[in-house]
Amino acid sequence: MRIQLRGEFAKALLAAPPPPRTEPVKYRQWGEGLEHEAVMQMERACLLPVSVAGALMPDAHVGYGLPIGGVLATENAVIPYAVGVDIACRMKMTVLDIPLRDLEQKQDRLTRAIEAETRFGVGSTFRDRRAHEVLDADWTISPVTKQNKDRAWSQLGTSGSGNHFVEFGLFTAHAKINDLDPNRSIPEADRRFYTKAYARQGGMQAGFEYFRSFEQDAQDFAELSRTPLPMPVLALTGEKASGNFLIEQAKLVATNVQGQIIPGSGHWLIEEAPQIVIPAITNFIGGSAH
């Protein structure tokens, strides 16, 4: 009995996680004068043995397991206590092309503009409701949207509750914003094209339907994969997106897969790396896969 207990104890020791680090892993912090407890919370998270790197945004404030506005990269670990807090909380910077003296002398005008166009705090709404084509969409698509359309209408344009705020400041750009990475940035004309397309009636809903169909896609793929594809298949994937994952997935449903990872690219391969993607496709169609 003692030998058995010692054996289980030894196994538990071997399986025990390593002790915390003596020094936190390096993390980047943007901004100064951040909430002290939020910084300390980030420091403690970076002491975890599974921590690899971290980042702290200018709007950081205390969360549960991790500061809201904090990012933590871990190795072979998921920390539920650090996930799911302030989902969709984000920052937005608007650059105004105005003289510095206007910011110094006419800040009350800017303040009134903010107060007129948004609201802050729990339960904040607009008495005079805003017009937007999103309200012309089909809100009866689900019981939740149908029930909450009126609430959404009254809250449209508000900044919500929580630690939300607006600050004015001086922005100095060391290069033209759109020219920071001219080799990889999506051209302004393309951005306007996509913006116009998604602004059309039903444009956003059509995009959401792609994600809504994931479960059905999985069922369809499971059925179709029973008969492997015999023809050549080209799988192009971004290094910063799915990497080798999509290539391996293609091999599950096809017997002749040619895969290529596009260096430095994310999801939008043709926009980010046309000089690599277009030749890869034309060569593949031209018969180099055979």
- In order, the DSSP letters of 192-230 are HHHHHHHHSTTHHHHHHHHHHTHHHHHHHHHHHTTS-B-
- Beta-carbon neighbour count of residue 259 at 10 Å? 16
Burial 176-187 (b: 16+ CB within 10 A, else e): eeeeeeeeeeee
| Blockwise average pLDDT, block size 10, the chain, 290 residues | 57 65 88 88 91 88 84 86 64 78 85 85 81 86 88 84 73 58 68 83 78 83 88 91 86 92 87 90 77
Return the pLDDT at 194.
Answer: 83
**Residue corresponding to tokens 């901004």:** 31
Asked if residue 276 lies in contact with residue 262, where contact means CB atoms within 8 angstroms, the answer is yes
Distance CA 71, CA 83 (A): 10
Distance CA 84, CA 42 (A): 16
Q: Two tokens at 45?
A: 């998270």
Closest among 70, 81, 26, 84 to 51, alpha carbons compared? 26
Return the pLDDT at 268.
Answer: 83
Closest among 61, 69, 79, 80 to 28, alpha carbons compared? 69
Bridge partners, 28 (sequence order): 55
Reduced to 3 states (helix: H, G, I; strand: E, B; else coil), residue 56 is strand
Distance CA 230, CA 257 (A): 10
Distance CA 265, CA 272 (A): 6
Q: Which residues, including other chains, have CB under 8 Å from residue 118's CB and lie 6 or more apart?
A: 157, 158, 159, 166
| Residue 120: φ, ψ to 5° | -125, 150
Alpha helices (runs of H) in the chain, residue ranges in sequence order = 2-15, 36-45, 100-105, 107-117, 143-155, 188-199, 203-212, 214-224, 245-253, 269-272, 274-283
Q: Considering only CA atoms, give the Rg of the chain.
A: 26
Return the pLDDT at 86.
Answer: 60
Return the pLDDT at 289.
Answer: 46
**Residue corresponding to tokens 């919500």:** 160
